Amino acid sequence: MILSQDGFQLELIHLRNQTLQPGQFLIKQDVYQSVKDRAKKRGRRVLGIFHSHPIGEAIPGPGDIKSATSGSLMLIYDVCGREAKLWKIRKLRGHRRAAELVLDTSEEAVAKLPRAADK
Ligand SMILES: [Zn+2]
In the chain, the number of structural domains is 1
Look at residue 31 in the predicted model and tell me its pLDDT: 94
Q: Note the Cα 99 to chain centre separation in Å.
A: 13
Which residues fall within 8 angstroms of residue 118, CB to CB, at 6 or more apart? none
| Cα–ligand 1 centroid distance for 74 (angstroms) | 9
Using CA atoms, how far apart are residues 50 and 115, in angstroms rounded to an integer? 23
The tens digit of pLDDT for each residue in 24-54 reads: 888 999 999 999 999 999 999 999 999 999 8
pLDDT of the residue at 49: 94
pLDDT for the residue 7: 85
What's the pLDDT score for residue 119?
47
Residues of the chain with pLDDT under 70: 115-119
pLDDT attached to residue 90? 95
* Cα 111 to averaged position of ligand 1 atoms, centre (Å): 30
**Which pLDDT value is given to residue 112?**
79
pLDDT of residue 115: 63
Q: Which CATH number goes with the domain that contains 45?
A: 3.40.140.10
Determine the distance separating the centroid of ligand 1 and the alpha carbon of 51, expressed in angstroms: 6
pLDDT of residue 9: 87
Which structural domain range is residue 20 located in? 2-118
